[in-house]
């Protein structure tokens, strides 16, 4: 489960486009930042994704992405040219492929590594879908197979792409777009794969001779989770539509990702699966937000892109800046061993201590994190030259402030009594099942090569 939003520069405070995504995963699926350097490859080179390998291209681009600990691909990410992508699970009448194939996250990372902008990304992504299809189990601890939707953006334009097997449809973004875990392109598409309509007609999903509606033809309307998915899409769309045109910026996008339906103190147990900031309620089903990213995309490709990243639930976390030419903060990338610093698990543990008393405690923690983006941007504006070294120092200071807030919170909450959790045994159940999520643990899975 996920939610992805794009607002183009015509609606923002500073003329930059803003991309934002919450990545929702099964509880205990730690998610880490990964930086991939640009590289040239031999003509016979191959690349190993999560389950399968495929021919490599001659040149791949540098990128930063957020990666579930056991997966090769990214939930969201941005490359050196400013192409930014997020993906969503969607469910079709066409049965998803559970055999080894490219996950949606793999398709996303491959596209970031191979395309320079949204238009080229559309061609690369749909080419991969038509050539390889998609599939594979997308969760470790439960049965989870699905098709994928994507939102691609650069500083000038964007595309929504929805797919089912090797079929796809695309709509160009005008002003803004929001997507979730449902098909949302109906008759209003700009491009469609050659056989998508004919295949739906053959299956009896579309009446021949009538205007083709992708969502109506391909949606699996029997899914029990569809009402919650539609509710999250409606929530994000209403939130963005209500923002002042010409007044949208980083703070507003953070608010969108933290949305609990208008009530920031709403307890996670109260409809958490239907909120953009998703909270788990069951150890065996549903998801919770594992990581978030906001990217400020200037119209000129040469300008460095601000990448704002957050770990775990954004309503109880902060956003710090990183750039492609700076170092990743200590503890934000996947640790080599489970004893190494791991900021994801530190903030996740703190959030689990706060969750039972969310209504009374969340606002205080959030207030400590809220000043961090403003401080970092103030430092950027005051710098005589925001070169890589200056930006790296700003990023590392923000990461230290984040770590200090988390460490102090863990120390403060460690021995305090907690209220009964309205979700019953949820926290106890997931705490009993915490896995090792380090690189050596991933290697032990023997899925494939390390990223």
In total, the chain counts a number of residues equal to: 451
What pLDDT is stored for residue 383 in this prediction?
A: 66
pLDDT for the residue numbered 449 = 43
pLDDT at 262: 82
- Nearest residue to 380 (alpha-carbon basis) of 326, 443, 334: 326
State residue 448's pLDDT score. 54
Residues 341 and 414 sit within 8 Å (Cβ to Cβ)? no
**Residue indicated by tokens 């863990």:** 410
Tokens of 345: 């698990």
| Residue 31 CB-half CA count within 13 A | 30
pLDDT tens digits, one per residue of 357-398: 999 999 999 999 999 999 999 988 876 578 899 999 999 999
- Could you tell me the pTM of the whole model? 0.96
pLDDT given for residue 346 in this prediction: 97
pLDDT number for residue 382: 75
pLDDT for the residue 450: 43
Contacts of 210 (CB under 8 A, 6+ apart): none
- Told to judge if 229 belongs to the known catalytic residues of this protein, a careful annotator would answer no
* Residue 266 contacts residue 316 (beta carbons within 8 Å): no
Catalytic residue from among 2, 63, 277, 315: 2
- What separation in angstroms does the CA of 195 have from each of 125, 191, 246, 315, 321? 17, 12, 40, 43, 43
Cα 17 to Cα 20, 149, 248: the distances in Å are: 10, 20, 10
Residues of the chain with pLDDT under 50: 449-451
For the chain, the maximum distance between any two Cα atoms, rounded to a whole number of angstroms, is 68
CB 73 within 8 A of CB 103: yes
Distance, CA of 165 to CA of 96 (rounded, Å) = 7
Q: What pLDDT does residue 8 have?
A: 97
Q: Is 120 exposed, middle or buried (0-12, 13-18, 19+ CB in 10 A)?
A: middle
Q: How far apart are CA 121 and CA 277, in angstroms?
A: 28
Structure tokens that stand for 357 in this block: 């008393």
Report pLDDT for 445. Answer: 85
Q: For residue range 125-175, list pLDDT tens digits in order.
A: 999 999 999 999 999 888 889 999 999 999 999 999 999 999 999 999 999
pLDDT at 261: 86
């Amino acid at each position: 489960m996920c939610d992805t939003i794009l607002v183009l520069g015509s609606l923002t405070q500073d003329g930059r486009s803003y991309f934002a995504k919450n990545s929702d995963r099964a509880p205990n699926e730690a998610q880490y930042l990964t930086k991939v350097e640009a590289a040239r490859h031999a003509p016979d080179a191959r690349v190993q994704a999560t389950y399968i390998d495929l021919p490599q291209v001659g040149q791949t681009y540098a990128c930063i992405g957020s990666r579930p600990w056991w997966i090769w691909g990214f939930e969201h990410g941005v490359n050196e040219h400013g192409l930014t992508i997020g993906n969503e699970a969607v469910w079709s009448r066409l049965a998803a492929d559970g055999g080894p194939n490219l996950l949606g996250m793999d398709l996303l990372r491959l596209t970031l590594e191979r395309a320079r902008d949204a238009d080229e990304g559309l061609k690369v992504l749909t080419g991969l879908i038509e050539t390889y299809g998609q599939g594979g189990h997308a969760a470790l601890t439960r049965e989870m197979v699905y098709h994928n939707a994507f939102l691609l953006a650069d500083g000038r334009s964007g595309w929504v792409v929805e797919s089912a097997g090797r079929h796809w449809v695309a709509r160009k973004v005008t002003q803004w777009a929001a997507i979730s875990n449902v098909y949302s392109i109906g008759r209003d598409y700009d491009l469609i794969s050659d056989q998508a309509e004919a295949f739906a007609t053959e299956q009896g999903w579309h009446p021949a001779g009538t205007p083709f509606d992708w969502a109506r033809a391909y949606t699996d309307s029997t899914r029990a989770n569809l009402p919650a998915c539609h509710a999250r899409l409606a929530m994000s769309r209403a939130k963005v539509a209500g923002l002042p045109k010409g007044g949208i910026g980083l703070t507003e996008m953070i608010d969108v990702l933290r949305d609990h339906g208008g009530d920031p103190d709403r307890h996670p147990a109260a409809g958490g699966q239907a909120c953009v900031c998703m909270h788990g309620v069951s150890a065996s089903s549903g998801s919770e937000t594992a990581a978030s990213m906001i990217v400020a995309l200037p119209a000129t490709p040469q300008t460095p892109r601000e990448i704002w990243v957050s770990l775990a639930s954004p309503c109880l976390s902060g956003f710090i800046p990183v750039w492609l030419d700076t170092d990743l903060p200590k503890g934000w990338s996947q640790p080599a061993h489970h004893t190494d610093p791991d900021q994801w698990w530190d903030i996740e543990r703190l959030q689990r201590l706060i969750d039972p008393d969310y209504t009374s405690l969340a606002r205080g923690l959030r207030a400590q994190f809220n000043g961090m983006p403003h401080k970092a941007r103030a430092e950027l504006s005051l710098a005589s030259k925001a070169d890589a070294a200056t930006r790296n120092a700003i990023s590392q200071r923000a990461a230290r402030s984040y770590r200090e807030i988390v460490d102090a919170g863990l120390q403060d909450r460690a021995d305090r009594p907690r209220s009964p959790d309205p979700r019953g045994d949820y926290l106890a159940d997931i705490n009993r099942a915490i896995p090792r999520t380090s690189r050596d643990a991933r290697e032990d899975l023997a899925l494939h090569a390390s990223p």
